[in-house]
């Protein structure tokens, strides 16, 4: 479904400011929505909202259905009577610039434990009934997630295939006996999910009231060490021990000379088709309970995917294999109706990928940092843009625009972009924002780092780098009125603010 002409800002909630070491979905997120509305933005793009996996990556989440409880707001828990002022009076001395995940995660969990103890001792009015209703609505995945999360904690975070065999293989007697001995731990995990979903729904209602849609992000694959693979092994290409026979990745491209070896287990598309793609329908339905539109990460994998032999050291030895194609999307449309989707069509795009995208009427993406090679003109150069497209100055996988211009761009790219934009490059971030917003593309999205003019040290992720990513945080000056008003002026000038 096409977007109306609009603009958005890309920022994950973990990046928001606040005293608890990590951005959350409480008051700071509500204030950010107000900032976006005044800036003329009509979309807030976020990264996956699921529990982060190794390296704190939201793209290696331990569940595709559960929410990240690191995003739960302590302040909202206090307003409900689940925490007291004394619980929050002296938070640790967290960095305001970077998320210190090894310190933040146990701190937030300790607060949730305290909230759960208070709930168990004397639940505030109405919460118990809402929790029971939540359990009923999410029964299809919630119990499996609670078991998985509790088992991970009991096993010192060992991967599920390292658990005792009878638990790893989900033998009913052993799993039932373990669950019977750990009812409190399971109830705690369910409580944490209830809290996340309630807080998110309040935030989403505020976004609706301000006229802002939320653009979510759905990775095509799920993590090997996830509740979904543990609980649904028949949907993936695994051996008898539950280990992948081949894994996902992408071939060498402009992100990496050896490709990207993601390591995710590949789907058994024949088994999924035989089930009517029921698991994918449930997954997409769950996404649209959280967001208004979905960016399909690695869209090309639906047409054909890069299969890498298990145990390979890089992705360079892989091969292309046909994906489910239109059959999957027809099943999704039949079950869910028309939904707003964006095809992340970066990288190697063959004719079959383009045909699938266009037959579905999905907008693709253009990234301006890839647009300005003077020879062999890029498909992202602005004069090639089309309406049914989302244009970005950069994405979470790119350097910031300033970092790109000062470090990554070749001399030829620098010369060409300056000639194309008629600039001396002193405010290259605003020059790129201007060309994105002036594009014919229906939707233009700008990372907040570019609005603030930040350098390479503030990028969100470096592909193929395992550590040090996902840590960026805003500070108060990056939410200043002058930046907001300058962005708002450009949104209005190029007809993207709706007013």
Give Cα separations from 6 to 396, 424, 437 (angstroms): 20, 28, 9
Mean pLDDT over the full length of the chain: 96
> Band of the pLDDT at 259, cuts 50, 70, 90?
confident
Checking if the pLDDT of 2 tops 70, the result is no
Q: Which residues contact 491 (CB under 8 A, 6 or more apart)?
A: 7, 39, 40, 41, 437, 497
Checking if the pLDDT of 262 tops 80, the result is yes
Please report the pLDDT score of residue 499 as a whole number: 61
Q: Pick the catalytic residue: 297, 345, 431, 450?
A: 297
Please report the pLDDT score of residue 55 as a whole number: 92
Residue 1 CA to residue 343 CA, distance in Å, equals 11
Please report the pLDDT score of residue 267 as a whole number: 98
> Band of the pLDDT at 368, cuts 50, 70, 90?
very high
Place of tokens 């976020």: 46
295, containing H or E segment: strand 293-297
**At 377, is the secondary structure helix, strand, or coil?**
coil
* 192-247 per-position pLDDT tens digit: 999 999 999 999 999 999 999 999 999 999 999 999 999 999 999 999 889 999 99
- Mean pLDDT calculated for residue range 94-123: 96
Give Cα separations from 199 to 24, 179, 499 (angstroms): 10, 28, 30
**Which two structure tokens, joined as six digits, stand for 55?**
């390296």
- 253 labelled catalytic: no
Contact predicate 65/286, CB 8 Å: yes
Residue 34 CA to residue 16 CA, distance in Å, equals 13
Adjacent-strand bridge partners of 249: 261, 306
- Mean pLDDT calculated for residue range 395-402: 97
Adjacent-strand bridge partners of 9: 44, 446
Checking if the pLDDT of 255 tops 70, the result is no
* CATH code that applies to domain 6-493: 3.20.20.80
**Which two structure tokens, joined as six digits, stand for 361?**
């009427």
Q: Pick the catalytic residue: 344, 345, 431, 442?
A: 344
Which one, of 470, 490, 482, 483, lies nearest residue 46 by Cα?
Answer: 470
Kindly list the domain boundaries of the chain, sorted by start residue: 6-493
- 297 labelled catalytic: yes
Checking if the pLDDT of 1 tops 60, the result is no
């Amino acid at each position: 479904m096409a977007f109306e002409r609009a603009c958005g800002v890309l920022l994950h909630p973990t990046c928001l400011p606040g005293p608890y070491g990590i951005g959350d979905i409480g008051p700071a997120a509500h204030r950010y929505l107000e900032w976006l509305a005044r800036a003329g933005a009509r979309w807030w793009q976020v990264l996956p909202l699921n529990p982060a996996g190794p390296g704190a990556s939201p793209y290696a989440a331990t569940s595709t259905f559960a929410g990240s409880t690191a995003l739960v707001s302590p302040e909202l828990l206090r307003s409900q009577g689940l925490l007291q002022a004394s619980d929050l009076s002296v938070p640790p001395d967290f960095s305001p610039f970077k998320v210190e995940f090894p310190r933040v995660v146990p701190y937030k969990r300790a607060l949730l434990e305290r909230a759960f103890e208070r709930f168990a001792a004397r639940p505030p009015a109405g919460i118990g009934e809402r929790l029971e209703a939540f359990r009923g609505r999410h029964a299809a995945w919630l119990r499996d997630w609670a078991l998985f999360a509790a088992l991970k904690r009991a096993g010192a975070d060992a991967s599920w295939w390292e658990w005792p065999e009878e638990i790893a293989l989900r033998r009913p007697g052993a799993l039932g006996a373990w669950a019977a001995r750990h009812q409190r731990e399971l109830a705690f995990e369910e409580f944490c999910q209830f809290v996340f979903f309630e807080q998110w729904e309040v935030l989403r209602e505020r976004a609706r009231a301000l006229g802002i849609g939320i653009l979510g992000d759905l990775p095509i694959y799920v993590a090997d060490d996830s509740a979904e693979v543990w609980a649904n092994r028949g949907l993936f290409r695994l051996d008898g021990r539950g280990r992948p026979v081949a894994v996902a990745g992408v071939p060498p491209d402009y992100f990496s000379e050896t490709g990207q070896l993601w390591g995710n287990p590949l789907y058994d598309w024949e088994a999924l088709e035989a089930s009517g793609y029921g698991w994918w329908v449930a997954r997409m339905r769950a996404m649209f309970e959280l967001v208004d539109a979905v960016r399909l990460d690695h869209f090309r994998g639906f047409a054909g995917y890069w299969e890498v032999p298990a145990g390979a050291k890089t992705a360079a030895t892989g091969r292309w294999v046909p994906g489910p194609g239109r059959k999957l999307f027809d099943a999704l449309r039949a079950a869910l109706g028309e939904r707003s989707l964006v095809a992340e069509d970066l990288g190697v795009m063959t004719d079959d990928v383009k045909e699938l995208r266009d037959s579905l009427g999905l907008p693709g993406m253009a990234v301006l940092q890839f647009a300005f090679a003077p020879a062999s003109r890029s498909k992202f150069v602005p004069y090639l843009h089309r309406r049914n497209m989302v244009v970005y100055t950069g994405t979470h996988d790119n350097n910031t625009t300033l970092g790109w211009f000062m470090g990554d761009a070749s001399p030829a790219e620098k010369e060409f972009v300056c000639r194309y934009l008629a600039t001396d490059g002193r405010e290259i971030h605003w020059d790129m924002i201007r060309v994105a917003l002036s594009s014919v593309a229906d939707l233009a999205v700008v990372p907040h780092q570019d609005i603030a003019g930040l350098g390479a040290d503030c990028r969100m992720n470096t592909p193929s780098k395992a550590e040090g990513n996902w840590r960026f945080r805003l500070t108060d000056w990056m939410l200043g009125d002058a930046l907001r008003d300058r962005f708002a002026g450009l949104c209005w000038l190029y007809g993207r603010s709706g007013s």
